Structure 1
C-alpha cells in the first residue's frame, strides 16, 4: 500500500512506523526521515501534512488520534494507553482494559461497544462519547 500512496523517499525511516497498523479512509501516517524524531502522538495530524516534504508519503493514518484538547477525536481502535488517558474518567487501568478488550475482540465495531469494557458505564461513556471515533 505504501507504493499506492506514492512510495518512500531515500530518506524515509521505515523502522519508525508500524506497517501492520490497520488504517481507515482519510487516515494519515507520518514517516520520519532517518535520524528525525517522530512527532508526539498529539502532533500526529499536523506533522502528517509535513510528511511529504520531510521524507515519505502522505497516505493515511492519524495514527492513534490526537489529543481531545485540540478538538480531534480519539480512535478507540488504534489509540495508545496514553491517548486514551486524555479522556475524562479514563485512567491507566481503564485504558489498559480498553486495549485488552479491543485485542480480544478484534477491535470495536461502534463506540457504543466501549460500554462493554469493565468499569465503563453509561455515565463515563456519556462524558467521553463526543471525543471518540472508530
Structure 2
C-alpha cells in the first residue's frame, strides 16, 4: 500500500512488479545454489603394475606374497658367446688352406672347431697326416688353418715378424706352398705381381689345390721362362 500510494501504481501494476521481483529472487537463488562448491571424491590408488587394487572379498593374493603384484619377469638374458670366437651375426670366417678338397674361405657358426672347418672344406686328401693338428680346438674369426703343411714352413712375405723373411733379391728363403700360400706370400716370388698371384689362387680354388709343381704351367700368365724361374722356389 505504501508503494502504491507513494508511486501511484495501480493494483495490477503492483502485482506484476511483485511477480517480477519474486521471479528474480528465485532465479538468483537457483544460480547461487548451482554455483556452490561441491566436494570431489579422490581417485582410487593405482598399484605399481598399473592395475586397480583388488576389492575386498575377492581372491586373496597367493601365499608368500606381500600383497603387492610382482612385476612380470623380463626377457631372459642373452647367452654370451665364447670369448674371442664370435663373429658378425653369430658366424665366423676362416681360411682353410693346404691339402683339402675345397681350400678357401668358409663361413661357420660361432663356436665351431677345427674339425668343422675341415668338413666345410670337403675333408682332407687321402694320406694326409693330421697328427700335428688339434681338430678339437675352437676356431676364432679370421683364422687360417693349414692342413698337411709341416710346422715352421710358412711362406715368406706374410704378416707376422717371426717367420723367415725374403732375401735381398726378393725370393723366399724356403719353398712357397702353392696350395696354402696367400696372395701376399705369392707376390714375394720373382716376377709374380698381384694379378698373377690372384690367378694362382683362383686356379687352386677351382682345382682343389696343386698336386704337383708342373700344374703351375696351366695358370694363366705363366710361360716356360717364368715357370723355370719359379720351379725351384715353390712346392705343391
Q: Same fold (TM over 0.5)?
A: yes
Instruction: Say which one has the larger Rg.
Output: 2
For 1:91 and 1:6, how far apart are their aligned partners in 2?
A: 32
* Shift, 1:88, TM fit: 0.8
Indicate if the aligned counterparts of 1:67 and 1:74 stay in contact, CA closer than 8 A: no
Inter-CA distance 70–81: structure 2 relative to 1 (3 Å threshold): closer
Between Structure 1 and Structure 2, which shows a larger proportion of helix residues? 1
Give CA deviations for 1:59-99 in whole Å, capped at 9, x if unaligned: xxxxxxx6464521100000000110111111000000000
Which secondary structure does the structure 2 equivalent of 1:43 belong to?
coil
Inter-CA distance 84–6: structure 2 relative to 1 (3 Å threshold): closer
Match of 2:148 among 9, 12, 23: 23
Which residue of 2 is the match for residue 86 of structure 1?
Answer: 188
Gaps of 5+ in 2: 1-113, 116-130
Between Structure 1 and Structure 2, which shows a larger proportion of strand residues? 2
Task: Determine if the alignment matches structure 1 residue 126 to structure 2 residue 228.
Answer: yes
Structure number with the bigger relative contact order (C-alpha 8 A, sep ≥ 6) is 1
Q: Provide runs of 4+ in structure 1 moved above 2 Å.
A: 4-7, 16-19, 21-24, 26-30, 39-44, 66-70
Indicate if the aligned counterparts of 1:41 and 1:83 stay in contact, CA closer than 8 A: no
Indicate if the aligned counterparts of 1:85 and 1:91 stay in contact, CA closer than 8 A: yes
Q: TM-score, normalised by structure 2?
A: 0.35
Which residue of 2 is the match for residue 95 of structure 1?
Answer: 197
Indicate if the aligned counterparts of 2:172 and 2:233 stay in contact, CA closer than 8 A: no
For 1:5 and 1:104, how far apart are their aligned partners in 2?
A: 27
* Shift, 1:43, TM fit: 3.4
Q: TM-score, normalised by structure 1?
A: 0.59
What is the Cα-based RMSD across aligned positions, in Å? 3.5
